[in-house]
Copies of this chain bind each other. A is one copy, B any other.
Amino acid sequence: MQNISPGLQAFEFWIAMAGTVAFAVTAVLAVMPRGIDPFGAVVMGIITAVGGGTVRDMILDVPVFWGSDVSYIWVALVASIAAYYGQQFVARKHVYDLMLYLDGAAVAMFAIQAASKVIRLDFGLPLAPILLGIITAIGGGLMRDVLAGNKTLLMKKELYAVPVTLGTVVYVIALPLLPGQEITVSILCALMIFGIRAAAIRWGVSLPDWMIVGKR
């Protein structure tokens, strides 16, 4: 693995924090129409923000990431409270859209980070990095949907699992073909996930009909 430059590390840190905010805020907004008190909203925001990575670490049997760095929980906590009481602000179209794009950026980065972690641990190659990338990126959202009683994102037409799958598949294939280029490959694959997800948010891009079987 290449040494990561301090600049890139700082960039990753800020994306991770912005992504945690976006996960928590979109979770709180998603459950508020069903009626929830601020305590429930905060629990939901935190579970959504850290749930996927927690399951990943438990499956890998490594220490859960927020056990040693609790800043993820602090950020999710503050963002959840802010979203709950600042609902009128964060629900505004352009603020909510910003949250969706940040959510997409976080999904992209968390998925590639997870795949990279799984590869370094030499765990279940080549499929586990893809599967755990997906679980890390959408696991928190699945818990949110299940706990809120909403249709889970796996059952929706919206592109969510698709870009993560494509990006992590390309990552797992490209990495051994381009030795010493881990950072470049990581960034390009994360951009690919974000690009597809952003296109889904912006233009409602979805899978072509011929790929989909069964009634909707």
Contacts and interface: CB of A to CB of B under 8 A. Distances in A.
Interface of A: 31-40, 42-44, 46, 54, 58-61, 63-64, 66-68, 70, 73-74, 77, 84-85, 87, 123-128, 131, 134, 142, 146-149, 151-152, 154-155, 157, 161-162, 165, 207, 211-216
B34 A67 contact: no
Contacts of A84: 213
Contacts of A64: 59, 61
15 contacts: A31-B155, A32-B213, A33-B215, A36-B154, A36-B214, A37-B211, A40-B161, A60-B67, A61-B61, A61-B63, A67-B123, A70-B126, A73-B127, A146-B146, A148-B155
Judged by DSSP, the binding face of A is: helix
Given A35-B216, A59-B54, A154 B161 contact: no
B216 A128 contact: no
One complex includes copies of this chain to the number of: 3
Contacts of A58: 58-59, 61
| Shortest 6 CB-CB contacts between residues of A and residues of B | A35-B216, A32-B214, A40-B154, A73-B127, A70-B124, A67-B124
B44 A127 contact: no
Nearest to A215: B35
A210 to B, nearest CB: 11
A137 to B, nearest CB: 11
A151 B146 CA distance: 10
